[in-house]
Amino acid sequence: MKHLKKLTLLHSNDMHGDFLAEEIDKDLVGGVSLLSGYVSKVRHEEENVLYAIAGDMFRGSVIDSEFHGISTIQIMNMLAPDIVTVGNHEVDYGVAHLLFLEKCAEFPIINANLHIKTNNARLFEPCKVIEIGGMKILFIGIITEVALMQVKADKLIGTFVTLNEAAEEIGRICDTYNAMDIDFTVLLTHIGFEEDQKLAEMLDPAWGVDVIIGGHSHTFIEEPAVVNGIPIVQAGTGTDQIGRFDILIDTDNNCINSYSWKAIPINESTCPKDPGIEEIINNYKHSTDEKYGRIITKFVRQLTHPSRIRETELGDLYADALCETLGLDMFFLGSGSIRTEKLGPVVTKKDLDENFPYDDSVFATYWTGAQIKHGLLRVLRDEALEGAHTEFYQLSEGFEVEYDQKSHSFLKFNFQGAPIDENKVYSVGLQQFHYTNVKDSFDLELEDLDKNKKSRQVCTSCAGVIEEVLQRGQHQDAYGTGRLIIHLADGTVTGV
């Protein structure tokens, strides 16, 4: 007779400081208070409950930004996850600050593949065994290559780059811990849903990985993807829902006997509030409201950023503001810098900071027309257009670029009303993150760009420049069309 034990495994990812509930159709939805209420309810109703977070607790709210994540850690301490892995945005305030925040955390943070290059010492514990209900549950933390992009400026920090290397590291950990009679193994990843599926394919069944709980790609699913016998799940983004596994574990054979999974909506009709967390959040909110409540500007209408892989109204507005103010020929603004889909028409400091939370410096780089074409071909590769979590860019005024995905070629590539001169050198503005990662984003080497003219820092705060430009004038507008027209392989056209 099999020995079966039940485990309830709750999971969130990419919460991005989504602390406050929103009123939708007269119902409060999301927020950490209601989320905590649901987690506490399940912990009371079920015997063996674990709650895991698959990265990106930080960024996305002024409460997080104002206190550089310390507020988030305090709020998360009250939410009390059993295990957390590192996401790419955990590194936004710097690696040293992340290690400080880890000391403030009252929960374990794991990651198997961030290390110090000089002695190969890991920055975090790679894994953790949690014992519950007579079972031993092994969690292993894996991060995406995007984190390596964020920490490139720190020459002492490295990470395993490829999925193959990550799979090998998982194998070493599983082989080491399997001797302890591990009943169940969970990969807690932050590499994106598609990459999770590729990783699952690489795992040797003998290693005993049972489940992959992921993040990074903000993927909403209706049911797990099963690859190589491993269910793979993700819980979208924010706090509007939470993933829930109810699993029967065969403790004789250390594997899943059966399971069910569903995404649970977080709202006031199904989740009780947590008054303790609500009080802390409101204290932080009150301390930021005065500073962030001031009005910066009023647009003609609400402007949008509905997708990171197409030209958008807010993308046009911000790219133009930086290009014109800094006296550059053109600006390539990282689409992922714009974090909310709508802004305005009345824009407060809070609205702007949540919409554009990244305060990088800006570098002037120098590209030939041929290098600009080559770089944008890299940006427009199939992987990006088909939804992979890659870097994408908003173009400043002057561009008329038309791209055909089927032929992987430009139908038009004009700048300032004429075909771009492939031999002419243009000044191109890049935020520091994208300047550091020119090779990954554009398939170009900084050394080659510097041969045209040496790159230089021209601004220490791109967010400050945007705020200053918006404050200078009311009734600003942007159109979000005409600069980057993409003929997709399925016949649809964007940017028109």
Residue 233: the pLDDT is 98
For the record, the structure tokens of 274 come out as: 């947590």
- 438-484: pLDDT as tens digits: 999 999 999 999 999 999 999 999 999 999 999 987 789 999 999 99
What is the mean predicted confidence (pLDDT) over 4-23?
Answer: 88
Whose tokens are 């994540």? That residue is 69
In percent, how much of the chain has pLDDT > 70? 95
- Tokens in use for 308? 């990171």
Mark 300-321 as b/e (b = at least 16 C-beta within 10 Å). Answer: eeebbbeebbbbbbbbbbbbbb
Q: What is the pLDDT of residue 171?
A: 93
Q: Residues 243-255: pLDDT tens digits?
A: 999 999 999 888 8
pLDDT of residue 154: 54
Confidence of residue 225 (pLDDT cuts 50, 70, 90): very high
Mean pLDDT confidence for 226-230: 97
Phi, psi of 33 (to 5 degrees): -60, -50
Residue 262: predicted pLDDT? 97
d(CA 489, CA 20): 40
Among all chains, which residue has been given the structure tokens 């390539």? 332
- Taking domain 293-494, whether its CATH number is 3.40.50.300 is answered by no
The amino acid that residue 235 corresponds to is A
Domain 4-285 has CATH 3.60.21.10: yes
Can you give the residue ranges of every domain in the chain?
4-285, 293-494
Phi, psi of 447 (to 5 degrees): -60, -35
pLDDT at 314: 98
pLDDT of residue 146: 54
Question: Which range (260-269, 349-358, 381-390, 439-448) has the least confidence?
Answer: 381-390
Is the model's pLDDT at 488 over the cut of 70? yes
Instruction: Enumerate the β-bridge partners of residue 50.
Output: 9
Per-residue model confidence (pLDDT) at position 156: 52
pLDDT cut 90: percent of the chain above it: 66
| Residue 331 DSSP symbol | E
pLDDT at 155 over 60: no
Assess whether the region 4-285 and the region 293-494 belong to the same CATH fold.
no
Residue 284 banded pLDDT, cuts 50, 70, 90: confident
Distance CA 486, CA 394 (A): 13
Global pTM? 0.70
Per-residue pLDDT tens for 105-132? Answer: 999 999 987 777 667 777 889 999 999 9
Can you give the pLDDT at residue 281?
A: 86
Helix, strand, coil percentages in the chain from 3-state DSSP, rounded to 5:
35, 30, 35
Helix crossing, 95-104 with 70-79: angle to 10°? 40
- CA–CA–CA angle 424, 463, 148 (5° rounding): 75
Contact assessment for residue 138 and residue 177, using Cβ atoms and an 8 Å cutoff: yes
Residue 60: the pLDDT is: 65
**pLDDT over 70 (residue 138):** yes
More confident residue, 245 or 358: 245
Which letter does DSSP use for residue 396 in this model?
P
**N- to C-terminal Cα distance for the chain?**
65
